[in-house]
Structure 1
Amino acid sequence: MADKFSWISEEFANLEKQGLRTAIRTIGSPCGAWMVVDGKKVLNFCTNNYLGLANHERLKASAQQAVGVWGVGPAAVRSIAGTLELHRQLEERLARFKGVEDALYVQSGFCANQAAIPAMVGKGDVIFTDRLNHASIIDGCRLSSATIMVYEHCDVTDAERVITENVGKFRRALLITDGVFSMDGDVAPLDQLFELCERHGVMTMVDDAHGEGVLGHGGRGIVDHFGLNGKFDLEIGTLSKAFGVMGGVIAGHKLVVDWVRQKARPFLFSSAVTAADTAACLAAVDLLEQSTELVEKLWENTRYFKEGMRQAGFDTGVSITPITPIMLGDATLAQQFSRRLFESTPGVFAMPIGFPTVPQGKARIRAMISAAHSREDLDTGLEVFAKVGRELGVIG
């Protein structure tokens, strides 16, 4: 009898040969500057814990208190019996924090894109999307059944070409871009894209997953960074990166957010986020509103680490944010580099990124800088990166 799954074994063999099979490591401690990974204490340059809030005492205390008051789960979808007072409090606070009329709290940033895009456009409509937009945007576009038109990465001229050639042929049009691109660390030209869309009557949406808590005054995000508060039709965010917890946010004009509440399938058909997560997110907003200290520390660490990597001779690509890619090109080399970092003494945890997450020939190690890192941590990381880089012939 033929093996029904022999094709999977063959595909795995191909991935191994190309250096593209993902090795999933197991974490044995809270997220911080140092973590236990696969039983070894290592310096963490891998997580999205930009402000060090994932194990913050105030967030943990808020989550624990919420469990005592609200229990461990709402046991319902938001639209039936799962909307807690805490959910509405968080939505109101996030709207004020971002300078918009309203916000909707959903299960994750990934869910937020799948919730918002099909609610705004469908068959007979068109989406203009950056070539390097995140997978959650790509999936949300596909789910919408709208026609998808791709413009070249961060290229306003090409976006205008695509819009001009196509906008009149469809019922509605929506432009979507990441704010900060998670693999390269570069930033969308949001002001120019907004002006372009205003001229052509195109709805606007930005995914600010890696900008919230990082860019703008006190971490208010890329829209604040460009002084466009309240002007973008939809802002998508996540509370699992700089905010250190879990959940996604859809923010913008009240009319638009209310419409998404009526139509968004992840909101309507998946259980609500727990009270513990919601309360921890509220505590994170409190911290960001009270002080800009963590955001400033993040950027101080970013400048120091990037300069150290450049001086060592590494290619850090086009990043202007705390995301620091170490460009290696070959996927097998990237996997080898990551293993050597981990096996060093002390070990450094920084995972390889290869196709299909990034294009073929653009493999890299992605180092993620955090406010939780001390200057000593950064120096240790720079030393280990340089040692491995010399051993593998990446730098001289």
Structure 2
Amino acid sequence: MSLFDKFKVLAELKKALGDGAQVSSVATPMDQVHSATSASIQGRKVVLAGTNNYLGLTFDERCRAAAIAAIEAMGTGTTGSRMASGNYAGHRDLEEALAGAFGWPSGIVFSTGYQANLGALSALASTGDTLVIDADSHASIHDACRLSQATTIRFRHNDPNNLERHLSRLGADASRALVVVESLYSVLGDRAPLAEITEITKRYGAWLIVDEAHSFGLYGARGLGICEELGLLDKVDFIVGTFSKSLGGVGGFCVSRHPELELIRMASRPYIFTASPPPGVIAATRCALDRVLEGHDLRAKLWRHVGRLYSELERLGYRVGTTTPGPVAALVFSEREEAKAQWQGLLDAGVYTNLMIPPATPIGTNIVRISLSAAHSDEEISHIIGALEQLAKKRPVTAAA
């Protein structure tokens, strides 16, 4: 017997995904990154269409300059948590700026987006409380439920009626229930029915936290996300987001219209026992936040790319994970080998995308995930579409029903 025996199935899957391919579809190695939309893989230049770099800010001149200046002034890291030596002025300023963007009194910065969910949820809900989560929630949300001592209830994905049934069974205990949803789900690119979910949650006296990881920067008048777009900010209790998508860095945040959020700093283990983000990351993110709030031009360009790609995918007969166009386009296939061939074909054509298969996706759902960026040029979008068209001509597209 061995500790590694339980990984045999994963080893077989890893081997299957790499068989016959020069480049593995698992943890694809990038030798060089040239820009927000271009990299080299095994010495060959490719268009990046699978990076979540929605606004292209990783190479923004102002953000890079801010990061370099912060490193020169304060060094490469803090070597301590926010509860010890890692509580710099930049961290506090970024928290105030994030909360202020929403017009709310409180915001907390975490070292990763994963930790934002892990740290906020595991502290907010404890023994005697209930977490009511969408079944298709991100792994960080499921892991937060495990770390929390709260009871966890999962409702069917994007099903407000199923959510209501669960809340109705809680009765008066619904006042100690925290409903957790994402506004934009990253696997299929589908949106949550937030208006209905918000109405039901408030009607039963429960609390609501919305993860805007993949929508922050892209939706709403100021880019604050789908809650802003739908006019729900006065009804949502907490919003979680990440720095690793539209903001082009690494880290995460939780903001709230309840000033009591500040108290979880003393209770959130992922916050207390993790070194704070380094000065360069914080400075670049602070600059990126300003770019988001003023970034109508970036959003306009991104949405023009989105409209063009979705129109072409429909023309070419691809099955997409959602009928509502968004920055994520998930090509759905019933067979793993078909999805793998599509991914490899795109890479061979110079387009990097993401291959996603069970257990990362629902059973029977295999995905080639395309994500667009405002930094993509029209020529790069044409290249992506051209590669998709050539693959559609070579073999029938028999996507999952």
Structure-1-length-normalised TM-score: 0.94
Aligned equivalent of 1:117:
121
Q: Does 1:385 align with 2:394?
A: no
Distance 1:389 1:114 in 2: 41
Aligned equivalent of 1:12:
11
**DSSP 3-state at the match of 2:271:** helix
Alpha-carbon deviation of 1:38? Answer: 3.1
Distance 2:34 2:104 in 1: 33
Q: Does 1:86 align with 2:84?
A: no
Alpha-carbon deviation of 1:48? Answer: 0.3
Q: Does 1:137 align with 2:149?
A: no
Matched-pair contact (CA < 8 Å) for 1:98–1:221: no
Alignment match of 2:301 (pick from 297, 300, 303): 297
1:347-373 CA distance string (max 9 Å, x none): 110121111111111111010011011
Q: Does 1:26 align with 2:29?
A: yes
Aligned equivalent of 2:246:
242
Count residues with an aligned counterpart.
393
**DSSP 3-state at the match of 1:123:** coil
Instruction: Please give the residue correspondences for 1:339-378 in structure 2 after superposition, counting only pairs within 5 Å.
Output: 339-344=344-349, 347-378=350-381
Aligned equivalent of 2:161:
157
Q: 1:69 to 1:17 in 2, by over 3 A?
A: closer
Distance 1:218 1:97 in 2: 9
> Counterpart of 1:278 in structure 2: which amino acid?
I
Q: 1:111 to 1:3 in 2, by over 3 A?
A: closer
Instruction: Please give the residue correspondences for 1:28-177 in structure 2 after superposition, counting only pairs within 5 Å.
Output: 28-168=32-172, 172-177=176-181
Distance 1:171 1:98 in 2: 24
Alignment match of 1:326 (pick from 316, 325, 331): 331
Alpha-carbon deviation of 1:100? Answer: 1.9
Distance 2:80 2:3 in 1: 38
Distance 2:93 2:3 in 1: 51
Alpha-carbon deviation of 1:7? Answer: 5.3
1:245-267 CA distance string (max 9 Å, x none): 11100101343321221211111
Q: 1:362 to 1:10 in 2, by over 3 A?
A: closer
Alignment match of 1:288 (pick from 266, 288, 292): 292
Q: 1:240 to 1:5 in 2, by over 3 A?
A: closer
> Counterpart of 2:347 in structure 1: which amino acid?
F
Q: 1:70 to 1:230 in 2, by over 3 A?
A: farther
Matched-pair contact (CA < 8 Å) for 1:167–1:173: no
**DSSP 3-state at the match of 1:29:** strand
> Counterpart of 1:284 in structure 2: which amino acid?
A
Q: 1:348 to 1:198 in 2, by over 3 A?
A: same
Q: Does 1:180 align with 2:223?
A: no
Structure-2-length-normalised TM-score: 0.93
1:368-396 CA distance string (max 9 Å, x none): 01101112111111110121233232179
Distance 1:5 1:82 in 2: 37
Aligned equivalent of 2:342:
337
RMSD: 2.1
Distance 1:225 1:352 in 2: 30
Distance 1:328 1:60 in 2: 39
Identical columns (%):
29
Distance 1:218 1:293 in 2: 11
Distance 2:41 2:179 in 1: 40
Alpha-carbon deviation of 1:145? Answer: 2.2
1:186-245 CA distance string (max 9 Å, x none): 111222212211111111101110010111113111221111224311100001100111
1:283-342 CA distance string (max 9 Å, x none): 111212334110111111101111011111111121431110111121222112111211
Distance 1:373 1:246 in 2: 21
**DSSP 3-state at the match of 1:82:** coil
> Counterpart of 1:331 in structure 2: which amino acid?
R
Matched-pair contact (CA < 8 Å) for 1:30–1:55: no
Ranges in structure 1 where 5+ consecutive residues have no aligned partner: none
> Counterpart of 1:340 in structure 2: which amino acid?
G
> Counterpart of 2:375 in structure 1: which amino acid?
A
> Counterpart of 1:82 in structure 2: which amino acid?
G
Matched-pair contact (CA < 8 Å) for 1:74–1:273: yes
Distance 1:295 1:135 in 2: 28
Distance 2:17 2:348 in 1: 22
Aligned equivalent of 1:255:
259
Worse-matched range after superposition: 251-260 or 356-365: 251-260
Alpha-carbon deviation of 1:5? Answer: 4.0
Distance 1:86 1:125 in 2: 34
Worse-matched range after superposition: 331-340 or 237-246: 331-340
Worse-matched range after superposition: 200-209 or 280-289: 280-289
Distance 1:167 1:116 in 2: 25
Matched-pair contact (CA < 8 Å) for 1:337–1:392: no
> Counterpart of 2:58 in structure 1: which amino acid?
A
Distance 1:250 1:97 in 2: 13
Instruction: Please give the residue correspondences for 1:298-313 in structure 2 after superposition, counting only pairs within 5 Å.
Output: 298-313=302-317
Alpha-carbon deviation of 1:16? Answer: 4.2
